[in-house]
Chain A
Amino acid sequence: MRRLAPLWLGFGGSLALAATPDATIRNFVACPIVRDTASVPCWLSEYEGELYFLTLQADVSAPVNPPWLGHKVLVEGRIKPGAARICGGVVLEPVKLSIIAEPDASCHTQLPAEERYNLTFEPPRPPGPSGGRLAFNTLPMPVKPVDVKREVKQYSLPYDFDGLINFKHPFQLTPILDLANAMKVSRVEITGYRGAALLSDGTVLPERADRARRRAEQVAELLQGAGLTAPKYAVRWIDAAPAPTGIDDHTQRRVEITLLP
C-alpha cells in the first residue's frame, strides 16, 4: 500500500470557525426527536429555537434513513423553499443525517401523536406491511453483467460522517463486485478520503483522523473477503480533509474505486 502526500491542509482535530455561505443551509449537531402520527412517525430536530423536519420512517430503501434516540445526529440540510411544514417542522431537503457514534442519554424525546401534526399526504410506506414493494427505488440492485465491456470503471462510495461500511453499502458494492468478476479485472485501485463539516454556527467538525485509511483498507478487505482476490490492489488514502464550505461537505466523505481490465 502506498500513502499519498496530503493534498490539502488538515484540521488536526481542532475546531476552526468559518461562515456558512447560504442562508438556507442548516448544518448542526443536535438530538433527534421522534413524533408519532396516526401513520408513520416523523423525525425532527431543533436548532436555534426552530424545529426542523428531517425524514419519515420508511424502510431500508429510503434515501434518508431516520436517526436514533440515544445519539446526537449531524444534520446537513437545506431548507426546502416553499414547502409546508411537516409534523410541525421546517422541511430540510435535501438532507444528510449522520448518527454520532457516542451514545448520548439526553437524546430521548419521543412525542405523542397530535391531530394537528398528522401527515397530510400518504407516506411512502405504512408502519407495517408494504403493498408488495420497498418504499423507494433508490437501491441499486445487484446486476449480473452479460455483455461486459472491458474498460476502466470508476465508482464512488458515499459515507456518513465518521462512518465506515454500513447496511447500505452492500447494494453499492455488489454491482462493483459482480462487474469486477465478470471483467476479470487485473487491478483494483481504491482511494479513501475523509472530510469535515462546516456547521451553521461556524464550527468546523473534522472526521476522525484515521477515516480515510480505514475506509480504503476496509473496502479492499471487503472485496477480497467476497472472493475478489485475483487482481492486484492499490490502496491509498488522503488523510487531509479539504476545507469545508458548508455546502455538500458530505461529498468529501467517500471511497473511490477504479476497476482496470
Chain B
Amino acid sequence: MNHRPLLAGLVALGLPALLLAAEGGYGTAGNPSEGLDPTATAVPAPKRIPRWIFPDTTGGLAAYGTYANELGQVGVLLADGAVKDAKSHPFFQALGTNGRACVTCHQPQDAMSVSLDNIRWIWRVTSGKDPLFAAVDGKNCPHLPQGEPASHSLLLNRGLIRVFLPWPPKGDDGKAIDPEFTLEIVRDPTGCNTHPEYGLGSKRPTVSVYRRPRPSANTKFTTHENFGVLPFIGKNGLPASRDPDTGRATSMNLMADARAPGLRAQAADAASGHMETRGPLTKAQLDAIVAFESQVYIAQASDRRAGSLVESDGPSGFGPQAMLKGEAGVLGNNTTRWVFPMEDKWKSLPRTGDVTQDARSAARESIQRGHDIFMFRTFWIRDSMHLNSVGLGNPTKRTCATCHGMHLTGMDTADGWMDIGTTNLPWAKEEPLNPWNKTKPEMPLFKVTCKDRVPPHPFLGRVIYTQDPGRALITGRCNDVGTIVMQQMRGLAARPPYFSNGSAQTLREVVDFYDRRYNIGYSEQEKQDLTNFLGAL
C-alpha cells in the first residue's frame, strides 16, 4: 500500500510519522476511552496525535525516545543504537502481501504494542484503509465487508486481532492431537466460527479467537532461560517447548498461548499469518527482526503527576534503562531482589509548600504505596488453574507478587499460563443481557466439555464456558481451558486496553477486575495507589 499521499498530508499538518528526536512534554489527561457502537459509521476521535510509524517509510528511530501517553511518557531504548534507515530494516518493511510490517502492530509510541487510541487514530486518518485493518485478522472475519467499522469492531473497540488456529490442534510433530474436550460454539457474533470457509465446520476446521498484540520489547525477559525453565513444564510436568535452533527448553512466555517457542518462530509465524507473506522470510530478514526485538527496552519514563521516573536518585526499577541493566528470568517475589525495586525512595517525601512540588511528592508517595500493596497486601487467591494447582493450596493467601513475580516484568518466571477468569465464565466480562440494554455481545462464546477419559477441570468442573480457550487450543488439555500466559507489566500506560481480550479499557478496570475476582476489598485509596503504580511501570 502506498502511503505517500497520506504521509504528505500528515507532514503538512505537522504530524511527522517518524521522528528521531525525543519528545518533550506530557500527554493530556482525559477520560477513559469510550466504547464504540459497532454499527456506528464514525469512530471516536483519538486523545492525541500519535507518532505512527508506517511501513516502508523513510526516517529512523532514535536510540532513545519518549512518547506521550495518557499518564505521561513511555521511554523506548534501543541498546544497539538508532535505526538510521527504517526503510531498509525488515522490522519496518512491508514484507508480505497486505502492506503490513512488524511495526504496524508494534509501535514504539505504544510500548511496542498498539493502543486502542492509536488504532482509532489510524482508522480515521486512513478511512480504515491502513494495512492494520487487513481482512485476514484486522477484521472480525475475512468475509465481512471491508472498511466498515462494524466489520472491524473488535479491533476498534478492544484492540483485538483475530487469531485463527486449527482444530483439533497439531503437535510439534504436525500430527493432530486428540483433545481432552469437545468444543461447541454457543455464540458467534463475528460469524467467523460458524462460517463455512473460516469456521469450525469448514474444510480446514479453524477456531477464531481475538487477542491483543503483545509488546515486542524487553524480550530478554520474555524469552529467558533462567529460573523455572526446565525441560518439563513447571505447571504440569509435561515437556516444555524447545527452541528448534538450540534444542534447549524455553520459558514459553512469549505469546498468550505459548505456541511459539522463541522470537524466530514467532516472527516466522507472524509473517505468514499477519503479513501474509508469499513464502517464508529469509534468514537475513529473520535475523534482523530477532536482533532488533532483542535490544528494544520499554518502560514508562515519566508520570504526568509524579514527574520523571528515571532520576538518578530515584527508584531503581523504573524506566527502560532498568530493563536494559536488569537480570532476566530471576525471582523478584522477595525482599532481596524485589519485582519492581523502589527501595522505599518515595515512602515519605518532605513537603515544601510549593503546590506543584508537593503535588508531585504526593503522586510519588501514591506510587510507592501502590508498590507496597502489590508486594505485601494479602488476599485469598482461589480457583485459579496453574496457580492454586501448583502447591500453594486452594485458596492461598498471597499477594499480587506471588503470580507476578519475575524481577522487573511481573511475569511468571516459569511457564506462565494461568486462568484468572479473564476469558472463562463466570468471571469474564460479559454484556449484561436484559430488555433495556441494546448492546449485543461482541466476543464469541464456546462450550467446552471435558471428556470422560480425563478428570474434570478441578475448579470449573466438566463443562466450561469461555470466550477464549487460550492455551487449551494448543494442547487440547481440559485443565488449560482459559489459561493465558501472563504478559509483562511494563509500558502499560502506553498500550491500553488490557488483558488478552482487551476487556479492561483502563488500568483502574484491571484493578477492579482483581478486586471482584478475588473479593479483595480494596479501599478506594488502595485502588488509586495500585492504579498509579501500574501506570508508572
Interchain CA distance A67-B335 in the complex, whole Å: 27
Select from chain A the residue with minimum beta-carbon distance to B390.
A167
Min CB gap A10→B, angstroms:
21
Q: Which of B35-54 contact A (CB under 8 A)?
A: none
Tell whether B422 is near chain A: CB-to-CB under 8 Å.
no
Which residues of B have CB within 8 Å of A168?
A: 237, 391
Query: Using an 8 Å CB-CB cutoff, how does the interface string of B448-464 with A read, 1 for contact, 0 for none?
Result: 00000001101101000
Q: Which of B102-110, B354-362, B394-402, B482-490 contacts A (4 or more CB under 8 A)?
A: B394-402
Cβ-based interface call for B375 (8 A): yes
Contacts of B426-465 to chain A: CB distance below 8 A: 455-456, 458-459, 461
Chain A contacts of B383 at CB under 8 A?
A: 70
List residues of chain A with CB within 8 A of the CB of B391: 59-60, 62, 65-66, 167-168
Within 8 A of A (CB), among B208-248: 230-240, 242, 247
Say yes or no: B399 contacts A69, CB within 8 Å. no
Q: How far is the CA of A227 from the CA of B239 in the complex (A)?
A: 9
Residues of B within 8 A of A132 (CB): 334-337
Give the residues in chain B near A222, CB-CB below 8 Å: 232, 237-239
Chain B residues closer than 8 Å to A65, beta-carbon distance: 391-393
One digit per residue, 1 when the CB lies within 8 angstroms of any chain B CB and 0 when it does not, for chain A 127-170 equals 11111110000000010000000000000000000000111111
| Alpha-carbon distance A173/B394, docked complex (angstroms) | 26
Q: Does A71 contact B (CB under 8 A)?
A: yes
Contact bitstring B75-113, A, C-beta under 8 A = 1, else 0:
000000000000000000000000000000000000000
Determine which residue in B333, B338, B392 has the highest number of CB atoms from chain A within 10 A of its CB, and name it: B392
How distant is B526 from chain A, measured CB to nearest CB, in Å? Answer: 15
Known: A129-B399, A131-B335, A132-B334. A165 touches B237 (CB 8 A): yes
- B389 close to chain A: CB less than 8 A: yes
B376 within 8 A of A: yes
B266 proximal to A (CB < 8 A): no
Residues of A within 8 A of B335 (CB): 129-132
Q: Is the CB of B239 within 8 A of A128?
A: no
B393-A227 in contact (CB<8A): no
Contacts of B378 in A (CB 8 A): 127-128
Contact segment of A33-41, A183-191, A237-245:
A33-41
- Return chain A residues, CB-CB under 8 Å to B316: none
The reply to whether B397 and A165 form a contact with Cβ atoms under 8 Å apart is no
Q: Would you call A127 and B392 a contact (CB within 8 A)?
A: no
Q: Is the CB of B461 within 8 A of A167?
A: no
Tell me whether A170 and B234 are in contact (CB under 8 A).
Answer: yes
Q: How far is the CA of A34 from the CA of B236 in the complex (A)?
A: 24
* B230 contacts A170, C-beta separation under 8 Å: yes
Closest B residue to A132 by CB, please name it: B336
Contact B237 A167 (CB under 8 A): yes
Q: How far is the CB of A165 from chain B (nearest CB, A)?
A: 4
Select one of B232, B334, B396, B397 contacting A130, CB under 8 A.
B334
Inter-chain contact total with CB atoms closer than 8 Å = 132
Q: Does A25 contact B (CB under 8 A)?
A: no
Task: Given A66-B393, A170-B230, decide whether A131 and B336 contact each other with a Cβ distance below 8 A.
Answer: yes
B382 at the interface (CB under 8 A from A): yes
Bound-complex Cα distance A29 to B290 (A): 53
Let me know if B239 and A226 touch, CB within 8 A: yes
Q: Does A122 contact B (CB under 8 A)?
A: no
B461 close to A103 (CB less than 8 A): yes
A167 touches B393 (CB 8 A): no
The answer, among A40, A43, A174, for a CB contact under 8 Å with B230, is A174
User: Is A177 an interface residue when CB atoms closer than 8 A count as contact?
Assistant: yes
Is B392 touching A70 in the complex (CB atoms < 8 A)? Answer: no
Chain B residue at minimal CB-CB distance from A60:
B391
Partner of A226, one of B232, B333, B375, B401: B232
Known contacts A127-B378, A226-B231; is A103 also within 8 Å of B333 by CB?
no
> Looking at the complex, which one of B236, B336, B459 makes contact with A70 (CB distance below 8 Å)?
B459
Q: Which B residues touch A166, using CB under 8 A?
A: 236-237
A101 contacts the other chain (Cβ, under 8 Å)?
yes
Closest B residue to A178 by beta carbon equals B231
Specify which chain B residues have a CB less than 8 angstroms from the CB of A170 in the assembled complex: 230-234, 237
**B388 at the binding interface (Cβ < 8 Å):** yes
**A41 and B397: CB pair below 8 A?**
yes
When the two chains form their complex, are residues A128 and B402 in contact, meaning their CB atoms are under 8 A apart? Answer: yes
Interfacial chain B residues near A173, Cβ < 8 Å: 231-232, 237
CB A177 to nearest CB in B, in angstroms, measures: 5
The answer to whether the Cβ of A225 comes within 8 Å of any Cβ in the partner chain is yes
> Which of A57, A60, A169, A170 has the most CB atoms of chain B within a 10 A radius of its CB?
A170
Determine whether A68 belongs to the interface, using a CB cutoff of 8 Å to chain B. Answer: yes
Q: Is the CB of B393 within 8 A of A129?
A: no
Q: Give the residue name and chain of the B residue nearest to A71 (CB).
A: B458
Q: Is the beta-carbon distance between A36 and B236 smaller than 8 angstroms?
A: no
Residue contact B242 to A227, C-beta cutoff 8 Å? yes
Report the minimal beta-carbon distance from A83 to chain B, rounded to whole angstroms: 21
B389 and chain A: residue at smallest CB distance: A167
Contact A127 B458 (CB under 8 A): no
Q: A128-B376, A130-B334, A225-B238 are in contact. Are A169 and B232 (CB under 8 A)?
A: yes
Let me know if B232 and A68 touch, CB within 8 A: no
Within residues 204 to 246 of chain A, which ones have a CB less than 8 A from any CB in chain B? Answer: 222, 225-227
332-383 of chain B: CB within 8 A of chain A: 333-338, 375-376, 378, 380, 382-383
User: B residues within 8 A CB of A48?
Assistant: none
Contact, CB under 8 Å: B236 / A227: no
Residues of B within 8 A of A129 (CB): 333-335, 338, 375-376, 399, 401
Q: How far is the CA of A173 from the CA of B333 in the complex (A)?
A: 26
* Least distance between B122 CB and chain A CB atoms (Å): 42
A59 partner, pick from B375, B376, B392, B456, beta carbons under 8 A: B392
Q: What is the distance, in angstroms, from A86's C-beta to the closest C-beta of chain B?
A: 15
Judge whether B232 and A127 touch: CB under 8 Å. no
Give 20 pairs: A residue, B residue, CB < 8 Å, sorted on A.
A57-B396, A60-B392, A65-B393, A68-B394, A110-B380, A128-B376, A129-B334, A129-B335, A129-B401, A131-B335, A131-B336, A132-B334, A142-B230, A165-B237, A168-B391, A170-B233, A174-B231, A222-B232, A226-B231, A226-B232
5 extra A-B contacts, CB within 8 A, seeds A129-B338, A129-B401, A132-B334 = A60-B390, A66-B393, A128-B401, A167-B236, A222-B239
Q: Which residues of A contact B (CB under 8 A)?
A: 34, 36, 40-41, 43, 57, 59-60, 62, 65-71, 99, 101-103, 110, 127-133, 142, 165-171, 173-174, 177, 222, 225-227
9 A-B pairs closest in CB distance: A66-B393, A225-B239, A132-B336, A170-B232, A165-B237, A68-B394, A101-B455, A65-B391, A169-B237
